[in-house]
Amino acid sequence: MALEPLLLKHRNTPGSAALEFYLAQGGYEAAKKAIRDFAPDKLIEEVKASGLRGRGGAGFPCGMKWSFVPKSNDKPKYLAVNADESEPGTFKDRILIEQLPHLLLEGILICCWAVQIKTAYIYIRGEFTEGAKILQKAIDEAYAKGYFGKNALGSGLDVDVTLHRGAGAYICGEETGLLTSLEGNRGYPKLKPPFPATHGLFRCPTVVNNVETLSNLPFIVNRGAAWFKTIGTEKSPGGKLFCVCGHVKKPDTYEVPLGTPFKELLALAGGVLDDRPLKAVVPGGSSAPVLTADEAMKVNMDFDSLAAAKTMLGSGGVIVMHDGTCMVDALYNLLRFYHHESCGQCTPCREGTGWIEKILHRLEHGQGRTEDFSLLMDICDNMQGKTICVLADAAVLPTRSFVTKFRAEFEYHVKQRKCLVARDA
């Protein structure tokens, strides 16, 4: 399936971040069209009709999320753009921010018009120093043209956008953690409900959308919901940026229709590194359950196919592993990550991620015991669904799937007190 590149059309074109460049490509015409041709409610309906689902991780229908925001104006409404991009294996929003910042800004205008939001914040991860500079320059350019500020784009609506830099914490990618952080705190997630749509930033109605989600909007407005639905699958319309990394020859971001077979995506990425046999694939960022090679080679990359394969599309970060990978070591690496990034509010998550890390450490270092498997599953049972946010689940899902699907390898570590695979490099 070929796809006319949309989000990546100007990939690596020098100067693509500049306003003149964007305007020469018909930039901001979609936002103008939205304001001219669509009453806010009608615009929400159009985005609903497009079937656009969130590209940040949860895949929630975008238009529906917007429709949950109360129509009344007795409280301010906010848009918080999730530019935290912190899910391991994901590096697509970085490209959109650094190379086409005006596409994102136009998406923001469209969202603000639809939901009648006057204040938008772009929460960008602290480590994106270059991206923050580029985005700030784009914001300044757009303000100078009157696209933002009072009577933005002549819409009659005042729309302000502010770039807000994070400071290094995975949990600020989780939407409620992001909002708490934006308010000037540690990035502690909050229990849902209430959802941000009604009680978000400063306890006011808030839309949280990912950079890639918003960057799709100008195309949907320009070409129509019906056109968008011609790409991808019935329930997962549109194209998607997949970040293919790990053991492939050409690690990169690829734009393909949702529903593209993993096999094709792997081929695009040049196949497995050194032509070695494929061993495992984490298809949707590190929080997604792992697939064996056989499972991966049969799966299509869309929300429902991956859910049917008991994993998830998540953020679109595809981590490929060849036969030289020790699965115990790989999982240990991931759990070290989740333990480090647990915000510590909930005991099952704070302690559970630490215990799992410790057990994996001893398995990896030849000190594992047979009881460790049931112990791991016990800890998982006590974490999943028992915490404020789903970071705990995000640690449990890889743990369960790695241990179950690669059980023999974990057992080898216990019995032989060493790795099954010869370690290279």
Ligand X SMILES: Cc1cc2nc3c(=O)[nH]c(=O)nc-3n(C[C@H](O)[C@H](O)[C@H](O)COP(=O)(O)O)c2cc1C
Binding residues for other proteins, total number by CB under 8 A: 56
Query: Do the beta carbons of residue 399 and residue 419 sit within 8 Å?
Result: no
Query: Do the beta carbons of residue 239 and residue 256 sit within 8 Å?
Result: yes
Q: What distance lies between CA 384 and its chain's CA centroid?
A: 21
Provide the minimum distance between the beta carbon of 190 and ligand SF4 in the complex, in angstroms, as a whole number.
8
Provide the minimum distance between the beta carbon of 63 and other proteins in the complex, in angstroms, as a whole number.
27
- Written as six digits, the tokens of 270 are 């040049």
Q: Which of 5, 26, 70, 76 binds other proteins (CB under 8 A)?
A: 76
Query: Do the beta carbons of residue 279 and residue 255 sit within 8 Å?
Result: no
- Written as six digits, the tokens of 108 are 């923001």
Which helix H or strand E contains 416, and what residues bound it?
helix 407-416
CA distances from 244 to 212, 256, 356 (A): 16, 12, 27
Partners of 79 in beta bridges: 120, 207
Site string for ligand X, 384-403 (x = CB under 6 A): -----xxx--x---------
DSSP 110-143: HHHHHHT--EEEEEE-TT-HHHHHHHHHHHHHHH
Site string for ligand SF4, 313-352 (x = CB under 6 A): -----------------------------xxxxx--xx--
Residue carrying the six token digits 């690596």: 12
- DSSP β-ladder status, 317-322 and 278-282: antiparallel
Among the candidate windows 39-47, 199-207, 269-277, 381-389, which touches ligand SF4 by CB under 6 A?
381-389
> Which position's Cβ is nearest ligand SF4?
349
Rule CB under 6 A: say whether 194 interacts with ligand SF4: no
Q: Which of 50, 86, 260, 342 binds ligand X (CB under 6 A)?
A: 86
- Written as six digits, the tokens of 242 are 């997949």
20's CB contacts (< 8 A; 6+ apart) are none
Question: How many other CB atoms sit within 10 Å of the CB of residue 269?
Answer: 24
Judged by beta carbon distances under 5 to 8 A according to partner kind, the member of ligand SF4, other proteins, ligand X, none in contact with residue 243 is other proteins
Provide the minimum distance between the beta carbon of 228 and ligand X in the complex, in angstroms, as a whole number.
15
Partners of 256 in beta bridges: 240
Decide whether 216 or 315 has the Cβ nearer to ligand SF4: 315
Judged by beta carbon distances under 5 to 8 A according to partner kind, the member of ligand X, ligand SF4, other proteins, none in contact with residue 350 is ligand SF4
Q: Among residue numbers 91 through 150, which ones bind other proteins (CB under 8 A)?
A: 91, 93-94, 125-130
Decide whether 91 or 412 has the Cβ nearer to ligand X: 91
Q: Which of 92, 143, 109, 96 minimizes the C-alpha distance to 34?
A: 109
Rule CB under 8 A: say whether 321 interacts with other proteins: yes
DSSP 241-274: EEEEEESBSS-EEEEEETTEEHHHHHHHTTSBGG
Own/partner pairs, 221-225, CB within 8 angstroms, 24+ separation: 221/30, 221/31, 221/33, 221/34, 221/38, 221/43, 221/46, 221/110, 222/26, 222/29, 222/30, 222/33, 224/46, 225/46, 225/47, 225/49, 225/50, 225/51
Among the candidate windows 15-23, 105-113, 238-246, 399-407, which touches other proteins by CB under 8 A?
238-246
Decide whether 315 or 342 has the Cβ nearer to ligand SF4: 342
Partners of 209 in beta bridges: 81
Binding residues for ligand X, total number by CB under 6 A: 22
Q: Which of 22, 337, 373, 406 binds other proteins (CB under 8 A)?
A: 337
Provide the minimum distance between the beta carbon of 327 and other proteins in the complex, in angstroms, as a whole number.
11
Q: Which of 28, 44, 69, 82 binds ligand X (CB under 6 A)?
A: 82
Judged by beta carbon distances under 5 to 8 A according to partner kind, the member of ligand X, other proteins, ligand SF4, none in contact with residue 387 is ligand SF4
Among the candidate windows 55-63, 145-153, 247-255, 359-367, which touches other proteins by CB under 8 A?
247-255
Rule CB under 6 A: say whether 155 interacts with ligand X: no
Q: Which of 100, 111, 135, 208 binds ligand X (CB under 6 A)?
A: 208
Residues within the interface to ligand SF4 (CB under 6 A): 171, 189, 342-346, 349-350, 387-389, 391-392
Residues within the interface to ligand X (CB under 6 A): 54-58, 60, 82, 84-87, 173-175, 208-210, 213, 389-391, 394
Residues within the interface to other proteins (CB under 8 A): 76, 85-91, 93-94, 125-130, 160, 162, 164-170, 181-187, 202, 243-247, 251-253, 282, 286, 317, 319, 321, 325, 329-330, 333-334, 337, 340-341, 343, 425
